[in-house]
Amino acid sequence: MKATAKAHTNIALIKYWGKRNEEIILPTNNSLSLTLDGFYTETTVALHEDYTEDHFILDGQPVVGEQYKRVTTFLDLIRKLAGKNIYADVRSINNVPTAAGFASSASGFAALAAAGTKAMGIHLSEQELSRLTRQGSGSACRSIYGGFAEWRMGKENDGSDSYAVPIAPVEHWDLRVAAVILSSTMKKVSSREGMKRTVESSPFFDGWVNSIPKDLEEIKEGIKARNMEKVGSIAEANCLRMHATTLGANPPFTYWHDTTLTVMQTVKQLREQGVPAYFTIDAGPNVKVLYLPENEKTVEKVLREIPGVTDVRLSKSGQGVTYI
């Protein structure tokens, strides 16, 4: 009747960008990510026979509105699976700074799916849990696993074959990520709205989708061989291609700020000085930098010195979902 789970967020090296079904969240391409140790959500789901609705407390504050609705709609899926009509008290602690530009929805929905199913007495395989989690937030389905994970888009219209699979565990490779946080704030185009606009109107969208299979195949070879240059350069090019689709949308948009470009240039300069570092960027202005442990001090120092950068948060690769 009560369960607690912890899940980490993840950073995509091959991006998920575009849906073919918005309701049950089916993507237009496979994606691949690294789960991050530094950023996580811990969620407790407790069932209450006497409740007439769900309660959701995030970091000690009751949540209402759209965010509450996403949680109860997701709990409805679990209730349906369990065949139980019982409401829950959901309490989450988020250790994902919103300002870091990580979707807390990835760790949030992975932890909610794990704690929710356990509280309802449902036993799911990791694959089944990933498929369920996908319906809360697409990128969250990759956070079920530690290390590197690939979300296979699947072919079916009912989503039965759309879930993530593990590619390499945490122990395989100590690849690190620096989250570079920028001071500037701007009204954000949500990933949901950004994808929709891109799919519907960007002439570059087909080029993006067609470029994925090669990127995926090569990055997986690179991960297997722990080849930083290969993995980093593919991740960087894939990110640039994703962001290029937004410039072709109608109306056009970009997630980048002036400091975003400065960070990108600084990463390139680091490489010219012999430090293997590569960037990737999600649906926001902040930049994530991939680097190796032996270069941590240099990378952190150089990134912190960039005007307009307010913080740099370092992370190792993290474990998949755990029950507490």
Contacts of 121 (CB under 8 A, 6+ apart): 82
Residue placing its CB nearer to ligand PMV in the complex, 4 or 137: 137
Positions of E strands within 200-281: 278-280
Q: For residue 126, give the nearest of 172, 90, 160, 166 by alpha carbon.
A: 166
Q: How far is the CB of 254 from ligand PMV (least distance, A)?
A: 13
d(CA 36, CA 292): 14
Residue placing its CB nearer to ligand PMV in the complex, 100 or 120: 100
Tokens 């090669």 sit at which residue?
Answer: 214
Q: How far is the CB of 281 from ligand PMV (least distance, A)?
A: 8
Q: How many other CB atoms sit within 10 Å of the CB of residue 247? A: 13
Structure tokens at 160: 């039965």
Residue placing its CB nearer to ligand PMV in the complex, 42 or 282: 282
DSSP state of 216: H
Residue placing its CB nearer to ligand PMV in the complex, 193 or 305: 193
> Is the bond preceding residue 307 a cis peptide, omega within 30 degrees?
no
Residue placing its CB nearer to ligand PMV in the complex, 92 or 137: 137
Sign, CA dihedral 204-21-44-318, equals negative
Q: How far is the CB of 105 from ligand PMV (least distance, A)?
A: 5
Q: How far is the CB of 133 from ligand PMV (least distance, A)?
A: 10
Task: List residues binding ligand PMV (CB under 6 A).
Answer: 12, 15-16, 31, 103, 105, 137-139, 191-192, 282-283
Q: What are phi and psi of 76, to 5 degrees?
A: -60, -40
